[in-house]
Structure 1
């Protein structure tokens, strides 16, 4: 049903976008009772069949393999480590710059990665939103506020090279690439545009300029998994003590 709704929405907006805006002069409706006995609209089903077939081919495409099932956990998880590494590594490739760290907001993770084959559809389930990968240059003093926000939430996924401890819902002993967080240093970080725009209560980032190439976070993860496959490697992520609760 969701797929059918998506197809109808796509067709509607595709058609309406090519026509001029007309004022509404009247509105009428008819109630239809939806029951288990409702018959399939064969004409509609036939119209949508080619689109559904093409979508199924795309979504069922295998792009990689995971040695373990990865679930979202706090303060750290293999799934979060994979995603945070993905946003940092692919941001470096897309923007051609050395990125100090990558982050994923915990609330944005909507599924899991099963053990075995990874399909395009699974990444869509993991990241159903059209969030973009953006870069920001953030001063260390503001980064501390950002890390404190993550700590207050119980921990967010951070990329390799970032370490932090959580005590009394505060971030302590934070280091980036083996060096303690310096309040005077400016760090280049990769994030989702949702968080960079102040989402998940990250107001401290909202006014910081963004570098934005319209690169979907979901596409970054698909390409990250595909890169592993091209190298003949499976995903094999686990907990690495990037984020540790010391209470």
Structure 2
């Protein structure tokens, strides 16, 4: 047997003997790495992102309006100044869009108390303000609801007893939260009428247990983010000065 034959034979034997056995994962290990100021800055990365950071901060800190006071969603029991601003801005900015597309007006607005994610501080109102109070990508939708579904909406508000932002809807309850009066645009609710209710896409899908939007007569998607509505509103006004009013109140004995 020559050397080439011997080499070929050994190579075949080696390949057969090296046949891989099935592998099985036995254990996964992880290690927590804390991120803190003690970590060294990568100067190359820092120099790369610095101009982008400065540009973004400049845009976010551009002044749009002025707030005469500090507003928080905890300032009132059943309606708050910032909540009223939230709902009123959605109506004011969205109604012209809806009117242009359908020839109809939005009858009322409802969004959720938890959707207000920050205070508005006294002083300059900036682009950043809109992003911190509404960090989500929620968009405005308008739902066509019969008056009977509006009654379910009101039942939800009476049961939840929170200052969910509403606009054009007024509710009066007694000390035990029994409904005394409810109206839309200062008119009694007609159970046979169709009302056009503006909300956001999260709530329309049942978020915060707002299941009263289903079923409905129709849905209108405006492709208008709530944050954009705030940016447009802040840009057109000089001063914001929302107040707690009588849109949802509880009577005292």
Pair member with larger Rg: 2
Distance apart, 1:227 and its partner CA: 2.0
Question: Does the 8 Å CA contact 2:98/2:106 hold for their aligned counterparts?
Answer: no
Distance apart, 1:191 and its partner CA: 0.7
Task: Quote the residue 2:203 is aligned against.
Answer: 195
Instruction: Provide the secondary structure at the position in 1 that maps to 2:237.
Output: helix
Q: What root-mean-square deviation, in Å, do the aligned CA atoms of Structure 1 and Structure 2 show?
A: 2.2
Of stretches 116-125 and 67-76 in structure 1, the one that deviates more from structure 2 is: 67-76
* Residues 115-126 of structure 1 aligned to structure 2 (within 5 Å): 115-126=122-133
Within 2, Cα distance between the matches of 1:89 and 1:178?
Answer: 18
**Structure 1: gaps of 5 or more residues:** 1-27
Question: Does the 8 Å CA contact 1:105/1:157 hold for their aligned counterparts?
Answer: yes
Task: Quote the residue 1:23 is aligned against.
Answer: none
Within 1, Cα distance between the matches of 2:84 and 2:130?
Answer: 15
Residue-by-residue CA offset, 1:188-232 (whole Å, 9 max, x unaligned) = 111111111111101121443321132101111111122223xxx
Task: Identify if the C-alpha distance between structure 1 residues 102 and 56 changes in structure 2 by more than 3 Å, giving closer, same or farther.
Answer: same
Task: Quote the residue 1:219 is aligned against.
Answer: 228
Distance apart, 1:128 and its partner CA: 0.8
Within 2, Cα distance between the matches of 1:187 and 1:33?
Answer: 53
Residue-by-residue CA offset, 1:35-85 (whole Å, 9 max, x unaligned) = 542111112212221221121011101111112211113311111111100
Task: Quote the residue 1:53 is aligned against.
Answer: 54
* Residues 157-196 of structure 1 aligned to structure 2 (within 5 Å): 157-159=165-167, 161-167=168-174, 168-169=176-177, 171-196=179-204
Of stretches 207-216 and 84-93 in structure 1, the one that deviates more from structure 2 is: 207-216
Question: Does the 8 Å CA contact 1:144/1:171 hold for their aligned counterparts?
Answer: no
Instruction: Provide the secondary structure at the position in 1 that maps to 2:165.
Output: coil
After TM superposition, the runs of 4+ consecutive aligned structure 1 residues lying more than 6 A away are 28-31
Question: Does the 8 Å CA contact 2:169/2:185 hold for their aligned counterparts?
Answer: yes
Residue-by-residue CA offset, 1:104-143 (whole Å, 9 max, x unaligned) = 2111111111112101111111011110011111111101
Within 2, Cα distance between the matches of 1:136 and 1:55?
Answer: 35
Task: Identify if the C-alpha distance between structure 1 residues 246 and 34 changes in structure 2 by more than 3 Å, giving closer, same or farther.
Answer: same
Question: Does the 8 Å CA contact 1:87/1:103 hold for their aligned counterparts?
Answer: no
When normalised by structure 1's length, the TM-score is 0.80
Instruction: Tell me how many residue pairs correspond in the alignment.
Output: 216
Within 2, Cα distance between the matches of 1:169 and 1:125?
Answer: 33
Q: Does the alignment pair 1:147 with 2:154?
A: yes
Within 2, Cα distance between the matches of 1:58 and 1:172?
Answer: 48
Distance apart, 1:183 and its partner CA: 1.4
